[in-house]
């Protein structure tokens, strides 16, 4: 009996990159969904302001991009993560200044302050990602992923002032916050685990992606209940993207050598 031919490295790297990009696309599609509707591109001093919406909604997408870039170590993705995280932080800082000057309510200021802290953690993840790539350090790579994931936790904390000012700590509100936290952290970890060349981590990424799908399906009734024609459509599109990413994660896991370790592979050092 002849031994099975080992997977071609370029093919495996392509599968991993496609899976990571599918996950990132699904999260940025969420940001786009928030910009579609009657309140789209509002520039007023409201919660529908386009900058406010992008800063809040896009934080998970930025964190996932940073985690994926740090884990893969690709120069192109690291540059993209640097630009996106930098712009995100700049927009949040500008939003904080405007809110302070125009006398926004305290809950808005507290929320924005927490978002700024979350973005600083994510920006630190970018720096750690560059250092990990330059030094070929798995420790720094994991630190970058941890910084991005912690940013999601801080983002969830940032929502507490608005919840308290609105309906208070009702069980439903806490459940929504918990679901958002779990979904965000799972997505960031799924991107990172898929990018790292470890068979066990990639199988774990496939499981995490399945759980992200479950969390997303839990949001479908709310999207339908909002009565907007776009909410369910965007969720269906995101489900398709995430499901495709799950297939890529499973294929990548099967193609990865069983004794692979979470060290940078050739895709990690390749420049785009």
pLDDT of residue 30: 84
Say how far apart CA 194 and CA 244 lie, in whole Å. 13
Model pLDDT for residues 54-65, shown as the tens digit of each residue: 888 899 999 999
Give the pair of three-digit tokens for residue 227.
């009565």
pLDDT of residue 175: 76
pLDDT of residue 270: 43
Task: Give this prediction's pTM.
Answer: 0.84
The secondary structure of residue 49, as a DSSP letter, is B
pLDDT of residue 47: 65
Say how far apart CA 12 and CA 267 lie, in whole Å. 9
pLDDT of residue 157: 81
| Cβ-based burial of 40 (10 A; exposed 0-12, middle 13-18, buried ≥19) | exposed
Q: Report in angstroms the alpha-carbon separations of 23 from 138, 152, 239, 262.
A: 22, 16, 10, 20
Within 42-198, where are the H helices? 50-57, 59-72, 75-101, 106-135, 138-158, 160-166, 171-195
Specify the 3-state DSSP secondary structure of 42: strand
Q: Which residues of the chain have pLDDT under 50?
A: 1-6, 227, 260-272
pLDDT of residue 211: 93
Domain limits, the chain: 9-258
pLDDT of residue 38: 56
């Amino acid at each position: 009996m002849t031994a099975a031919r080992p997977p071609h490295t370029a093919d495996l790297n392509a599968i991993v990159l496609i899976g990571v990009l599918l996950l990132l696309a699904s999260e940025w599609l969420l940001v786009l969904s928030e910009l579609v509707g009657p309140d789209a591109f509002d520039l007023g001093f409201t919660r529908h302001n386009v900058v406010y919406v992008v800063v809040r909604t896009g934080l998970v997408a930025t964190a996932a991009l940073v985690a994926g870039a740090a884990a893969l170590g690709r120069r192109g993705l690291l540059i993209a993560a640097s630009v996106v995280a930098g712009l995100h932080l700049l927009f949040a800082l500008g939003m904080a200044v405007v809110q302070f000057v125009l006398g926004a309510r305290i809950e808005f200021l507290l929320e924005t302050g927490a978002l700024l802290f979350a973005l600083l953690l994510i920006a630190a993840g970018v720096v750690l990602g560059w250092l990990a790539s330059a030094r070929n350090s798995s420790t720094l790579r994991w630190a970058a992923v941890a910084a991005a994931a912690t940013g999601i936790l801080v983002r969830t904390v940032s929502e507490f002032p608005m919840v308290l000012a609105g309906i208070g700590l009702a069980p439903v509100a806490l459940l929504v916050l918990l679901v958002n936290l779990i979904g965000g952290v799972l997505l960031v970890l799924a991107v990172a685990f898929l990018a790292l060349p470890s068979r066990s981590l990639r199988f774990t990424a496939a499981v995490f992606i399945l759980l992200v799908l479950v969390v997303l399906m839990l949001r479908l009734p709310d999207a339908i209940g909002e009565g907007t024609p776009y909410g369910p459509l965007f969720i269906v599109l995101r489900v398709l993207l995430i499901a495709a990413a799950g297939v890529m994660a499973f294929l990548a896991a099967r193609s990865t050598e069983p004794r692979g370790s979470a060290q940078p592979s050739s895709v990690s050092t390749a420049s785009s």
